[in-house]
A and B are shown apart, each in its own frame.
Chain A
Amino acid sequence: MSQTIEQVEMQDPGVQGWRTQKLWGVLTLVSMAVLMYMALVWAPEDSVQGAPQRIFYIHVPSAWIAFLAFFVVFVCSIAVLVTGDRKWDDRAVSSAEVGVVFTTAVLISGPLWAKPIWGVYWSWDPRLTSSFILWLIYLSYLALRSYVPDPARRARFSAVLGIVGFVDVPIIYFSVRWWRALHPGYVIQPGKVDMPGSMVLTLMVGLLAFTFLYLFLLGLRLQNQRLQNANERKGLE
């Protein structure tokens, strides 16, 4: 027997309402449209890098969301172990998947920018390399989940990896940074923003738009997860 989303939603009071979901969707659409206008038309062309610099408005927000998403995995993973409640596992895996998507965006947009600017697609730059290693860790997180059929065990195992993976982030960053000396070409360095105000503003809008997109995707993925859980339960009964 097939069920509509509404029916499942009524059965499970934990399901986030479609109304909130619609709100994130609309906010995402509007802010993305504004971002595209600002990034492609309004923001001035970079005097040194030219048009490729505009990738920056997609690349940096993607990296920010990837990091945020994995931080959410980390927090939810601790909650899984402490409370043993499966809803935290649903949140952790949803955020992990969205995080992997955004990390992929970072790994694609980074080389696209690097080719015209650095002359090579890939350089073992600390940030790019750290993103790459993070991508591998959270792919292994998703792989691990697919190999553990029992839901309770899957939640605990992936929570352990979710914690270990995130604790590893700063260690990875510093190890890679020491491994290869810093590359030239940083636009923003800690404590020193070397950009005109319009570029900074465009970046800020980008961060906001991507945060809405993250919340929208996370909500969708979470609902998907709850439907999967409902199906699993029906299969068991």
Chain B
Amino acid sequence: MSMLAPAMLIARKDLKVEARTKDVLTSVGLFGLLVVVAASFSFPTTGEGRQGVAAGMLWMAFLFAALLGLGRSFALEKEEGCMEGLMASPAPREPIFLGKLFANLIFTGLAEIAIIPISIMLLQLEPGNGIWLLLGVTALGTLGLLTVGSLFAAMAVNTRTREAILPILVIPVAIPLLIASVKATEVALLGKGIGDAMQWILLLAFYTGTFLFVALFTFPYVLEE
């Protein structure tokens, strides 16, 4: 059986649940936005170097939003024995991972699409053509973050603390990703081109590719009972 078809089915299931409840999107989007607002009052957002501060704020918002969404997304599978149902299905384990990853990409991505323009306005940023770089870095960085995050979220919901341990697992491992994403985002917010961020984009791509591979290899063991 191909990997993608069952993955798409699982993602579509999550989207359908979300379309009915709108739990995740409202909480994740609003939470991300609140992080930006809280950070605006906490950090200097004017003058020299504000693009660097803004890049950091954006990624704090993306990180927290992603963690919140991931926790919800996997906690959902615990209810009514849904994960057991998925495991009993003829689909191999890897598509379950990909399906959850796709669904979370859509949730976090939608939240980011709301957070980015509002932040640009609130922080008086003028990225100009850098906006394309910003969107590209956001997409790649989010993919990497959610890859590691989905793997760990599947474990976290099966611990005594439930998803409370998720940030403790994700953040240390995601530090290289955060460094690269923030640096590349700063380049984008300064209105510069992709050439100035190439080293960071390559690092992001390497990180994402490596952990996608590791996650697909290890995820079946996370679900094994």
Contacts of B183 in A (CB 8 A): 178-179
Residue of A nearest to B155 (CB): A157
Q: Which of B147-164 contact A (CB under 8 A)?
A: 148, 151-152, 155, 158-161
Given contacts A147-B160, A164-B148, A175-B179, contact A137 B203 (CB under 8 A): no
Residue of B nearest to A169 (CB): B176
Q: Which of A148-191 contact B (CB under 8 A)?
A: 148-149, 153, 156-157, 159-161, 163-165, 167-168, 171-172, 174-176, 178-179
Question: With an 8 A cutoff between CB atoms, is A144 at the interface?
Answer: yes
Contacts of A112 in B (CB 8 A): none
* CB contact between A144 and one of B165, B179, B180, B211 (< 8 Å): that residue: B165
Shortest beta-carbon distance, A79 to chain B, in Å? 12
Contacts of B168 in A (CB 8 A): 140, 143-144
Residue of B nearest to A82 (CB): B221
Contacts of A165 in B (CB 8 A): 172-173
Inter-chain CA distance A74–B113, complex, in Å, is 38
Q: Which of B194-225 contact A (CB under 8 A)?
A: 199-200, 203, 206-207, 210-211, 214, 218, 221-222, 224
Q: Taking chain A's interface residues, is the majority helix, strand, or loop, or is none over half, making it mixed?
A: helix
Whether the pair A164, B176 counts as a contact (CB closer than 8 A) is no
Q: C-beta contact mask, B174-185 vs A, less than 8 Å → 1, else 0?
A: 011001100100
Whether the pair A163, B173 counts as a contact (CB closer than 8 A) is no
**Number of residues in A with C-beta < 8 Å to the partner?**
28
Inter-chain CA distance A137–B173, complex, in Å, is 6
Q: Taking chain B's interface residues, is the majority helix, strand, or loop, or is none over half, making it mixed?
A: helix
Contacts of A157 in B (CB 8 A): 155, 158-159, 222
Whether the pair B169, A171 counts as a contact (CB closer than 8 A) is no
Shortest beta-carbon distance, B199 to chain A, in Å? 6
Inter-chain CA distance A140–B206, complex, in Å, is 24
Given contacts A157-B222, A163-B214, contact A133 B175 (CB under 8 A): yes
Contacts of A176 in B (CB 8 A): 176, 179
Whether the pair A159, B221 counts as a contact (CB closer than 8 A) is yes
Contacts of A153 in B (CB 8 A): 158
Q: C-beta contact mask, B45-88 vs A, less than 8 Å → 1, else 0?
A: 00000000000000000000000000000000000000000000
Residue of B nearest to A158 (CB): B155
Given contacts A137-B173, A144-B169, A172-B175, contact A160 B211 (CB under 8 A): no
Inter-chain CA distance A110–B218, complex, in Å, is 35
Whether the pair B172, A156 counts as a contact (CB closer than 8 A) is no
Contacts of B203 in A (CB 8 A): 171, 174-175, 178
Contacts of A5 in B (CB 8 A): none
Whether the pair B159, A164 counts as a contact (CB closer than 8 A) is no
What 9 new A-B contacts, CB under 8 Å, besides A156-B224, A164-B214?
A136-B171, A137-B172, A161-B155, A167-B211, A172-B175, A174-B176, A175-B180, A179-B179, A179-B183
> Which of B's residues lie within 8 Å of A, judged by CB?
148, 151-152, 155, 158-161, 165, 168-169, 171-173, 175-176, 179-180, 183, 199-200, 203, 206-207, 210-211, 214, 218, 221-222, 224
For the complex of A and B, 3 pairs with smallest distance between CB atoms: A175-B176, A136-B172, A147-B159
